[in-house]
Amino acid sequence: MNLLYVLDFLRELAAHNNKAWMDEHRAMYQRARAEYTTFIAQLLRDASVDLEPHLRGLTPSDVMFRINKNDRFQQSDEPYKRHMGAGLKAGGRHSPWAGYFIALEPGGETYIGAGRWMPEPQQLARIRQEIHYNAPAFHAIRQDATLLRHFPLGLDMSQSLKTAPKGYDKTDPDIEWLRLKSYFVWQSFTDAEVARPDFTERVLTGWQAAKPLVEFLNEAMRAEE
């Protein structure tokens, strides 16, 4: 498993992000993808034992995102993403549940994350309701010292309503958290950190620290099912 090769390929791709270059360097891409697949397979094996039993039976192809840009969030005309990513959660990468994420990207842009990014409206309503009803548990989770040691920025606050969500008073003591549109933590890594032999262990340890958050979100979203 050679993650530096993956980063090298992605660095070249970023500099030549077009179909002609990709076609000419298909063998390089296939090797980088194979290295990344081996890495994700190891994460799946270890995480399904110690982190999330619902991952058992999933394969790397179930959790790895395509490198082609084919979604509505595309913000440039580049045909390929600049990273290789995966979402490890029950049901695979496109399932509606909270889970665990990783993306390799050179230049210190590699990150691991956990939680639920931009949940559907019904899911978001259930999460907000659970925070409103069970605020002490939510705050204990988001302020947990172990979580913050691995994700020092805490919950990502970049996706938030400008006003109170429907059904909540703007003076609610938890309004800052009820306004969020995503409930997600993340932490970036330098290329040198990705190259370290303990990187896989660091990913899994970080995800383990975020497990209470993921479980809180999934329990909230399962409510009223």
Residues 72-113 have pLDDT tens digits of: 555 668 999 999 999 999 999 999 999 999 999 999 999 999
Give pLDDT tens digits for 140-199: 999 999 999 999 999 999 999 999 999 999 999 999 999 999 999 999 999 999 999 999
Residue 50, pLDDT score? 85
Mark 200-220 as b/e (b = at least 16 C-beta within 10 Å): eebbbebbbbbbbbbebbbeb
Q: Both tokens of residue 38?
A: 């081996």
- So what's the pLDDT on residue 223? 74
Q: Are residues 105 and 85 in contact, defined by beta-carbon separation less than 8 angstroms? A: no
- On whether the CB atoms of residues 91 and 97 are closer than 8 A, the answer is yes
Determine the pLDDT at residue 69.
Answer: 87
Q: How confident is the model at residue 204 (pLDDT cuts 50, 70, 90)?
A: very high
Query: How does residue 47 score in pLDDT terms, banded at 50, 70 and 90?
Result: very high
Burial class (CB in 10 A: 0-12, 13-18, 19+), 167: exposed
pLDDT over threshold 90, residue 225: no
Range of the structural domain that residue 40 is part of: 3-222
Say which residue the tokens 């842009």 belong to. 109
Q: pLDDT exceeding 70 applies to what percent of the chain?
A: 96
CB count within 10 Å of CB 124 equals 19
Q: What is the DSSP string of 30-64?
A: HHHHHHHHHHHHHHHHHHHHHT-GGGTT--HHHHB
52-65: pLDDT as tens digits: 999 999 999 999 99
CATH of the domain at 17: 3.30.930
pLDDT tens for residues 165-182?
A: 999 999 999 999 999 999
Residue 58, pLDDT score: 97
Count structural domains, the chain: 1
